[in-house]
């Protein structure tokens, strides 16, 4: 029997110091909990509280990794604009 494909999610967390952390996972809620408890990425330790400010789903891990690399190469201003547009779209969908 064929295993169902996993949905990969790219996420951006805003740290208390205003910096962003970008990552991918198959379970954003679990990963955010790990970050908040200091068991996630080393970068987010000591930077709580953390806020999920961007999220996008992908059909494959490779597609998520490509987008992650592109976002990580963006300037801070470009990331801020990406986050603003996503938050605005999310607010409108409620």
Domain assignment present for residue 2? The answer is no
* Number of domain units in the chain: 1
Q: What is the pLDDT of residue 69?
A: 98
Mean pLDDT, all residues of the chain: 94
Closest to 12 in 3D by CA, of 89, 86, 91: 86
C-beta separation of 15 from 7 below 8 A: no
Domain assignment present for residue 3? The answer is no
pLDDT tens digit sequence for 43-85: 999 999 999 999 999 999 999 999 999 999 999 999 999 999 9
Domain assignment present for residue 1? The answer is no
The structure's pTM equals 0.91
Q: What is the pLDDT of residue 88?
A: 94
Q: What is the pLDDT of residue 94?
A: 75
Mean pLDDT of 21-26: 98
């Amino acid at each position: 029997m064929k295993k169902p494909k996993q949905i990969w999610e790219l996420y951006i967390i805003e740290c208390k110091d205003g910096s962003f952390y970008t990552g991918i996972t198959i379970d954003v809620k679990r990963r955010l909990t790990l970050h908040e408890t200091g068991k996630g990425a080393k970068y987010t330790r000591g930077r709580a509280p953390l806020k999920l400010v961007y999220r996008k789903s992908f059909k494959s891990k490779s597609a998520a990794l490509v987008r992650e690399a592109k976002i990580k190469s963006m300037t801070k201003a470009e990331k801020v604009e990406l986050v603003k547009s996503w938050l605005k779209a999310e607010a409108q969908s409620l």
